[in-house]
Structure 1
Amino acid sequence: MARAIWKGAVSFGLVNVPVRLYAATGEHDIHFHQVHRSDGGRIRMKRTCSVCGEEVAYDEVAKGYESPDGKLVVLSDDDFSDLPVASGHEIDVLQFVPADQVDPILLSKPYYLEPESRAAKPYALLREALAETDRMAVVKIALRQRESVAVLRVRDKAIVLQTLLWPDEVRDADFEVLETDVELRPQELKMAASLVESLAGDFHPEEFEDEYAAAVKTLIDARLEDADAAPSAAAEEGSDASGTGGPRGGEVVDLLTALQRSVERARGGPSKDEPTEDAAPAAEGTTARTTATKKAAPAKKAAAEKTPAKKTAAKKTTAKKTSGAAKKTTGARKSA
């Protein structure tokens, strides 16, 4: 575990739990530098003034706010020093709320709370109380001189503090199409529920992987083995997008029929009237994509083999591009 980023105590009622705060997540994105294509030199960004055109030293940079009507206000360090700054090393529990009342869209950055050795018992007491009542503790905490609202929740044997977005930071789903009256037949609802049940399972996040990140790492490793290779050629323009969408030409497939076929495919049995390649419903594509995203498992391979021909064509296109890239790399090595 990395260094603790905060030390303090959780206070609820008369109970005080000394804790240390650790970041619970870490991104695994691959970070790139901007370089000069011809010689690999790093690109350095200069701070220049749009008025005088001169380069500005960091100690001469100030914070400025531009109003919607174009007025500019420049604020100094002294201006900020006069503001009330949130500080303190106490996590005050404001209330305990039902867990299902906390909208997941509000959840932001998670942190683990580690108790000090002398606080193991009150920590366990708070953890078990939250788990037993299926509630979260709403708290306030000052992190990096900014006050945040957060919740305490239980994950395995640890208490997680997860900061919340402020309500005005969440945007409304303002889509006119959602106001359209849609008539759903009982048969369609029943078949949709049947499809959900046929694909039901327990969520195991380790079964999924970031295929793009893995492919980028493989590409980088291959290029590192041949560091003297010439700069790669520009990516081929355009791509074969055919066969990646749903029915052709805006064709609409009967929803109930699509759901029926999807259920039958998910259960592993052929449909009574197996559709042709051209008439494959969009719902089948959804089933195939769900299966392909997971790591290969024996039970899932059969479903992947039944993916429509259009999916197979897309895979061939991908394989063709990968093969082309491999040939270019091989050619570059030979020329070197």
Structure 2
Amino acid sequence: MRAIWSGAITFGLVNVPVKAYGATEDHDISFHQVHDKDGGRIHYERRCEVCGEKVDYKHIDKAYEEDGDTVVLTQSDFEALPESDNNEIEVVQFVPSDQIDPIMLEKSYYLEPEGKTPKSYLLLRETLKKTDRTAVVRFALRQKTRLGVLRVSGKLLILQGLIWADELRSVDFPGTKSRAKVADKQLELSAQLVESYASDFTPKEFEDDYQIELRKLVDAKLAEGDKLDTKATFGETDEGDDDADVVDLMEALKASLEQRKKGKTSA
């Protein structure tokens, strides 16, 4: 695993040298596009509309248009911005952890302590644990100024990006203002249903079923060629499913609870 960033966390006069590593990776199967007629690969070209030439990526600048006027920004322009070479993760606040709305969280990064004596790293980690606080930070990555949080996961400090406040959409759905009333009995049954699902979160118990089935399909095609019955690959038949009964909310809750009870009895 290769570090994508190297710098330091700073809060007050404390300096914590760290390296950042991407904490996640995509497990989706990658595809390329082909012509349905003959299976030929589809390629995309970067071609200039003025001279018609194909353009290498290194010769591409970025342009912004507003009210019919266009300005071009070069790589040198971006590098001249004050935050472009900032190698600090600056702590700006320590806030109660429950004040961070998960909807604002973005990509995560593992932070590795640098240096022979990572005492400052350990100090920050233990302080966050003891105070049950999350550090709100500002940092620059890939020529963008970002907002983020520092939190503790086991023995590691983790940096998570945050979206800016003006990037969060404000919505007002009519259904949330409904005057419909929830009966006490409905609420009681719903709470029982929630309790029947209650457990500790164990991420490893969950798998990406779509990618598993997709892998099975790809493997089958590799083994047998294109003469493959896709439904047979998944053990499906052509028998149609019975239409689901339409039931009211109370009946649905009762049926769900009964199903959960039977499942626990047979387990």
The normalised TM-score by structure 2 is 0.84
- Look up the match of 1:47: 46
DSSP-derived class of the 1:46 partner: coil
- Look up the match of 1:259: 253
DSSP-derived class of the 1:267 partner: helix
Equivalent positions of 1:234-313 (< 5 A) are 243=242, 247-248=245-246, 252-253=247-248, 255-268=249-262, 302=266
> Aligned in 2, Cα 1:179/1:83: closer, same or farther, shift over 3 Å?
same
> Aligned in 2, Cα 1:43/1:121: closer, same or farther, shift over 3 Å?
same
DSSP-derived class of the 1:151 partner: strand
Contact 1:12 1:93 in 2 (8 A): yes
DSSP-derived class of the 1:268 partner: helix
Q: Which runs of 5+ in 1 are unaligned?
A: 270-298, 304-336
> Aligned in 2, Cα 1:129/1:61: closer, same or farther, shift over 3 Å?
closer
> Aligned in 2, Cα 1:62/1:243: closer, same or farther, shift over 3 Å?
farther
Which is higher, the Rg of structure 1 or of structure 2? Answer: 1
* Highest RCO, 1 vs 2 (Cα 8 Å, sep ≥ 6): 2
- Look up the match of 2:159: 161
- Look up the match of 1:290: none
Q: Which of the two has greater helix per residue?
A: 1
- Look up the match of 1:181: 179
- Look up the match of 2:191: 193
Q: Which whole-Å CA distance do the structure 2 matches of 1:157 and 1:95 have between them?
A: 22
- Tell me if 1:73 matches 2:67: no
Contact 1:38 1:231 in 2 (8 A): no
Number of residue equivalences:
259
DSSP-derived class of the 2:192 partner: helix
The normalised TM-score by structure 1 is 0.68
Letter in 2 for 1:19: V
Contact 1:88 1:142 in 2 (8 A): yes
DSSP-derived class of the 1:220 partner: helix
Equivalent positions of 1:86-101 (< 5 A) are 86-101=84-99
Q: Which whole-Å CA distance do the structure 1 matches of 2:172 and 2:16 have between them?
A: 43
Q: Which of the two has greater strand per residue?
A: 2
Q: Which runs of 5+ in 2 are unaligned?
A: 232-237
User: Deviation per CA, 1:206-257, whole angstroms, max 9, x where unpaired?
Assistant: 111111111111222222234xx3577999xxx988647x544xxx51x233
- Look up the match of 1:31: 30
Instruction: Give the drift of 1:265.
Output: 2.1
- Tell me if 1:107 matches 2:105: yes
User: Deviation per CA, 1:118-149, whole angstroms, max 9, x where unpaired?
Assistant: 34322222112112221100111111121111
